[in-house]
Amino acid sequence: MLSQIVRPMVRTQIRLLANSQATYSTLVTTIAQWLGFLGVQAKVTQLQTHADRIQLSLTVGKPEACDDSDWAKILGNLDRSSTSVISESSAKLPPPQERKLQRLLAYVIQVGNPNGTVEWDSLEPQLQGLGFDESMLAGIRSALKVPQSLDHLTEDLDADVAAIALSKAVGIALLDRQVNAAEDRALSALLEVMKQA
């Protein structure tokens, strides 16, 4: 799916970046280009290295897929909210939606392991690396004990939950660096729910 299209292009651009004599300006352009693929207008305003990482600051314009009223609401909400960074997992969903999210993510894990066995001890650190908190991990682990149905899980699914599930499901699907047909169907179903909103 997406990874099969994007990954080779990213590898090529990274190789070009590594061999560039103008690394700073090339990286600034590359980051803006990558975000541009998502319809996001972004400009890098600061870039520096720290240990083995690159730190950067961005100025982001209204994404192409965002209408003016939603963008105005986003800006207004940001102006009213605190400047502290809040992780996505700390934005609590109502319990029924959180359980549905846990079951959706368990489904993606199940179909990503067609042999039927999920080694929780090796999976848990990978999920922690994707930013899952203890409550979410416990819910996913519990949901893995029961077979899940994609049709049932996406029935009456809230578009906001689908959006959260999609971003996390992509990370889960790419843990083994490939997306199988069942994972692709799950990601496509979540995308469809978001489009219907």
Q: Tens digits of per-residue pLDDT, 47-97?
A: 888 888 888 888 888 887 778 888 888 888 888 765 444 444 445 678 888
The pTM of the full predicted model, rounded to 2 decimals, is: 0.59
Cβ–Cβ under 8 Å, residues 120 and 141: yes
Cα dihedral angle (70, 188, 14, 87), rounded to 10 degrees? 50
Give the DSSP per-residue string, 31-95: HHHHHHHTT--EEEEEEEEETTEEEEEEEE---TTS-HHHHHHHHHHHHHS-SS---GGGSPPPH
| 3-state secondary structure (DSSP) of residue 145 | coil
Query: What value, to the nearest 5°, has the Cα angle with vertex 88 and ends 166 and 195?
Result: 30
pLDDT in tens, 110-163: 999 877 788 899 999 989 888 788 999 999 999 999 888 899 998 888 887 888
Q: Are 149 and 143 spatial neighbours (Cβ–Cβ below 8 Å)?
A: no
Supply 106's token pair.
């368990």
DSSP code, position 116: S
Is the pLDDT at 38 greater than 80? The verdict is no
- CA distances for 60 relative to 10, 24, 51, angstroms: 21, 19, 26
Within 8 A by CB and 6+ apart from 23, the residues are: 17
Cα–Cα dist 102/119, whole Å: 17
Q: Where are the domains of the chain?
A: 2-69, 88-196
For residue 109, pLDDT over 90 is answered with yes
What is the Cα–Cα distance from 119 to 142, expressed in whole angstroms?
13
Going by the DSSP 8-state scheme, the letter that residue 19 receives in this structure is T
- Kindly report the backbone phi and psi dihedral angles of residue 180, in degrees, each rounded to the nearest multiple of 5, phi listed first: -85, 175
pLDDT tens for 87-99 read 444 456 788 888 9
Provide the pLDDT for residue 88. Answer: 45
